[in-house]
Amino acid sequence: MSTAWTARYALRTKGITSSAIRELLKATQKPGMISFGGGLPAPEVFPTQRFEEACHKVLTQQGASALQYGETEGYRPLRELIANNIARYGIKAKVENVLITSGSQQALDLIGKLFINAGDRVLVEAPTYLGALQAFNVYGAEYVSVPIDENGLRTDLLEKPLRSGPKFMYVLPNFQNPAGTTLSEGRRHELVMLSEKYGIPIVEDDPYGQLRYEGEHLPSLVVLDRENLRRDDGYSIGNVIYLSTFSKTLAPGLRLGWIVAPPEVISKLTQLKQGADLHTSTFTQFVAYEVARDGFLDQHVKLIRKVYRERRDVMLQALEEFFPSEVTWTHPQGGLFLWVTLPEGLDMQAIFRAALEQNVAFVAGDSFYARSNDGHDNGAREGSRHMRLNFSNAAPEQIQEGIRRLAAAVKSHLAATTIRLKLPLEV
Ligand SMILES: Cc1ncc(COP(=O)(O)O)c(C=O)c1O
């Protein structure tokens, strides 16, 4: 029944619900719970002492400006630091190309606000980052979903969807959330060429690019797009908008992300950000700058890589040890997640409930598929065979124990399903 309040809500809020993951996070606060659910960094690696020193320095030396309103574009020294950092990955942005946002999540919202009219299509990967769908849904996005495989987005399937005229493509090339897969170099080239050919821009979301545990860094789409267009003049034009964040390299509680785009796009996004929050917290930006400067960020990222590589390896090994042979999973070269595929016919919700009873949590795969208004599920049914497992947040011993418990839940459902499937033949 609709209350007086719900009847007053704007049409764009129709169908907007709370993220399954944020709801799940509440359930996993229970003591004894081992959670592979959220995308949470390991709290043990937060550089708290460096933050403490930075806060003290900012307040004693620059207190007045750090506590004052600031520029919407962001704190200039932090924008410079970001531009210098990403230059090492070949992204030669000027300060004018960088807009600081309140996390990458705000960047996704601003991009939705800038580009999506109700009913516009957005091309997304199947599966894709749930938070992006939530951000775009508010603007009435429709979706064209293109499947991924172990080498990322299936670029061989792109031409037809691109001809249907999506507003932009939303792509996660590195250690994808949720699947942990990485877009191969060949497909990266193909993708930027297709973007140019069809005039469809790319939103490249890259929160995990620096967290690579094996293999060589692959060039970002924003870099390959420059090469493809034969432009080396800063980001005056181009087909790619690049997003990243300090959430996974410093701390997510900072809520600090950034957008790299041509200046005309940055200027429009800045106007929209003014309306949203005037600017990202000045104090937080000053502190993040003090924390990250003088090479600390690089040094810290090395520590994170070491800790997460070990956790990934422990999870991969535990899966090998405890999971039945009918189950497969991805081998992520970096990032925070891996993607497990179960045989068809299992009831994932029942497995989820059984896992929670055993004090272990994960996110069921169907949350990560965009649904269309025409009722097409874009692979969500296929998603019900998958679970996303996060390996960054739990300590190695917990990972081992959590996977053992999860395997027990999966095995008992597998056995029950096999019996159920066999019954009609045997009776
Ligand atoms: C792919 C992707 N994009 C964006 C975000 C949002 O990050 P932030 O904390 O910077 O808002 C996340 C967070 O997990 C993510 O996985």
pLDDT grade, residue 373 (50/70/90)? low
The whole-chain average pLDDT of the chain stands at 92
Per-residue H/E/C for 243-308: EEECCCCCCHHHCCEEEECCHHHHHHHHHHHHHHHCCCCHHHHHHHHHHHCCCHHHHHHHHHHHHH
- What is the 211 CA–ligand 1 centroid distance (Å)? 14
How much is the pLDDT for 251?
A: 98
Measure CA 312 to chain center: 17
Instruction: List the residue whose alpha carbon is closest to atom 7 of ligand 1.
Output: 104
Q: In this predicted model, what pLDDT tens digit does every residue of 46-60 receive, in sequence order?
A: 999 999 999 999 999
For the chain, what is the radius of gyration of the CA atoms? 22
| Structure confidence at residue 426 as a pLDDT band (50, 70, 90) | very low
Give the ligand 1 atom nearest the CA of 107: 11
| Cβ contacts of 211 within 8 Å, gap of 6 or more | 175, 248, 249, 301, 304, 305, 308, 334, 335, 336
Ligand 1 center–CA 207 separation, angstroms? 6
Q: How confident is the model at residue 237 (pLDDT cuts 50, 70, 90)?
A: confident
**Cα 331 to ligand 1 centroid, rounded to whole Å:** 21
Best residue for ligand 1 mutational test, from 46, 101, 104, 337 (most atoms within 8 Å of Cβ):
104
Position 380 confidence tier, pLDDT thresholds 50, 70, 90: low
Question: What does the longest C-alpha to C-alpha distance in the chain come to?
Answer: 81
Which residues line the pocket of ligand 1, CB cutoff 6 A? Answer: 39, 103-105, 129, 131, 172, 177, 205, 207, 245, 247, 252, 257
- Global pTM reads 0.94
Angle, helix 76-87 to helix 282-292, in steps of 10 degrees = 40
If one residue of 22, 24, 105 were mutated to test the ligand 1 pocket, choosing by the most ligand atoms within 8 A of its CB, it would be 105
What's residue 162's pLDDT?
Answer: 97
For residue range 111-149, list pLDDT tens digits in order.
Answer: 999 999 999 999 999 999 999 999 999 999 999 999 999
Other C-beta atoms within 10 Å of 125: how many?
28
Q: Which of 171-180, 195-204, 348-357 has the lowest mean pLDDT?
A: 348-357
Q: Say how many Å lie between the CA of residue 23 and the centre of ligand 1.
A: 17
**Cα(64) to centroid(ligand 1), Å:** 31
Ligand 1 nearest-atom number relative to CA 246: 10
Q: Does the pLDDT of residue 104 top 60, yes or no?
A: yes
Mean pLDDT (whole number) for 274-287: 98
Going by C-beta distance under 8 Å and a sequence separation of 6 or more, which residues neighbour residue 121? 141, 142, 143, 144, 164, 165, 166, 167
Q: Is the pLDDT of residue 357 over 80?
A: yes
Q: Is the pLDDT of residue 20 over 90?
A: no
pLDDT of residue 427: 36
